[in-house]
Amino acid sequence: MPDQSLNSGSLAASDLFPWLQGFAPRRWLSNGHLQTIVGNYLPRPRFTLDSTAETVEVDPSDGSRVMCYGHWHRGHDLRLRLTVILVHGLEGSSESRYMLGLAARAWNAGCNVVRMNMRNCGDTDALTPTLYHSALSNDVGAIVDHYRERFGLQRVGLVGYSMGGNLVLKLAGEWGRREPLCGVAAVCPAVDLAAGADALHEPANRIYEWHFLRRLMKRYRRKAELFPAIYTKTGIGPVRSLRDFDDKIVARYCGFKNADDYYYRAAAARVIDRIAVPSLILHALDDPFIRLTPETRAKIIANPSISFIETDHGGHCAYLGVQPGDEIHWAEATVIRYLLEHSRSHGS
């Protein structure tokens, strides 16, 4: 596969790749902060898909389970259809707006869909004694294996946003060409965790950092109430940044030496050169707090399995474009078209 790294605004992208249309931001939304904020609150059409709720064990050693919502087409060809597993970002859930938007698009395109909650997310704190963090790519793999065994799935694609993007790319790097994985798409993935954590602490991004910290600390207190033998509410000290949280809580309770050790071991950047299935990375240059180091960028561009699409605008996971109606969500439409295009030849 030839190098597919490009800026989608710099050429007629659809002339090169039928799944890719150039991105232009909606009028008055060319600022990355505005894209990010408006994208979080923009109303969507009512979500009407029927779903099957199921808890799936992801770690037999401690009985950790996650909650998934599956949308399955009926008929004997269920196993032959592309099944898309969606993974949300930090402090998101299966009910996040982009998760619902992606689910509707994938379903309408003929795919089975699974909306996965990371550990504790979606009000599932009681399902696991552990915290959730960016190294748990094996949880995504356990979901793939569970549904492959249950339905005999032959084609599975993964979509991850932000933290979820790191998880799906990390799994792809760890798995290589393992069946039934046939494609991956990541929107604004946090593949360089240390750089992203430090960017969140910049003055212009403190509003985002405080938003995440408030919710993370609330979740930690809830875990301490549910599992008082494991977690303590005292002796932690002040937590004034995401790096503080990762150093004093994630590292302490999740088996890392410190925040730097966690960021290194959890980052998809460490294995991104080993990705061997078709993978799409969407990155906006005006994303307020996702940063790619030069080393990671070089690895991405050098990997022929990765299509790296970099846009001037888009904010963090927003990509609100000029198209009318629900087509305003350019990234969602792009990742579904990409997975459909690259799954057709799988197993043929």
What pLDDT was estimated at residue 233? 83
pLDDT at 7: 52
- State the residue for tokens 């998101």: 92
- Give the pLDDT score at 113: 98
Residues composing the chain = 348
Higher pLDDT, 235 or 212: 212
Q: How confident is the model at residue 320 (pLDDT cuts 50, 70, 90)?
A: very high
Please compute the mean of the pLDDT values over residues 140-169 and round it to a whole number.
98
Mean pLDDT value across residues 312-316 = 95
CATH number for the segment(s) 6-192+272-343: 3.40.50.1820
Residue 120 has pLDDT above 90, yes or no: yes
Q: What does the pLDDT read at residue 34?
A: 94
Average pLDDT of the residues in 283-289: 96
In 10 A of CB 279, how many CB atoms?
Answer: 27
Beta bridge partners of 52: 70
* Residues 115, 68: Cα–Cα separation, whole Å: 6
Q: Which residues does residue 69 pair with via DSSP β-bridges, in sequence order?
A: 53, 115
One-character DSSP codes across 90-113: TT--TTSHHHHHHHHHHHHTT-EE
Strand partners, 282: 187, 309
State the Cα–Cα distance between residues 331 and 311, nearest whole angstrom.
11
Q: How far apart are CA 124 and CA 68, in angstroms?
A: 11
pLDDT at 12: 42
Enter the DSSP assignment of 121.
T
Residue 6 pLDDT > 60, yes or no? no
CA–CA distances in Å: residue 195 to residues 119, 171, 191, 192, 263: 24, 20, 9, 6, 9
Percent of the chain whose predicted confidence (pLDDT) is above 90 = 84
pLDDT for 1 equals 37
Domain boundaries, the chain: 6-192+272-343, 198-266
- Could you tell me the pLDDT band of residue 4, with boundaries at 50, 70 and 90? low
pTM metric for this prediction: 0.94
Joined together, the tokens standing for residue 4 give 């597919």
> What pLDDT is attached to residue 2?
37
* Segment 91-107 mean pLDDT: 96
Answer yes or no: are the C-beta atoms of 77 and 109 closer than 8 Å.
Answer: no
19 or 156: whose pLDDT is higher?
156
195 pLDDT more than 80: yes
Whether 192 shows a pLDDT value over 60: the answer reads: yes
pLDDT of residue 18: 84
Q: What does pLDDT average to over the chain?
A: 93
Cβ-proximal residues to 168 (8 Å cutoff; 6+ apart), any chain: 87, 137, 140, 158, 159, 160, 184, 185, 186, 189
Could you tell me the pLDDT band of residue 41, with boundaries at 50, 70 and 90?
A: confident
Average pLDDT over residues 179-205: 97
- Of 10-19, 211-220, 255-264, 321-330, least confident by mean pLDDT is 10-19
pLDDT of 226? 97
Q: In the structure encoding, which two tokens stand for residue 108, read together?
A: 């309408």
pLDDT single digits (tens) 196-211: 999 999 999 999 999 9
Whether residue 318 is predicted with pLDDT greater than 80 in this model: the reply is yes
Confidence of residue 144 (pLDDT cuts 50, 70, 90): very high
Average pLDDT of the residues in 207-216: 96
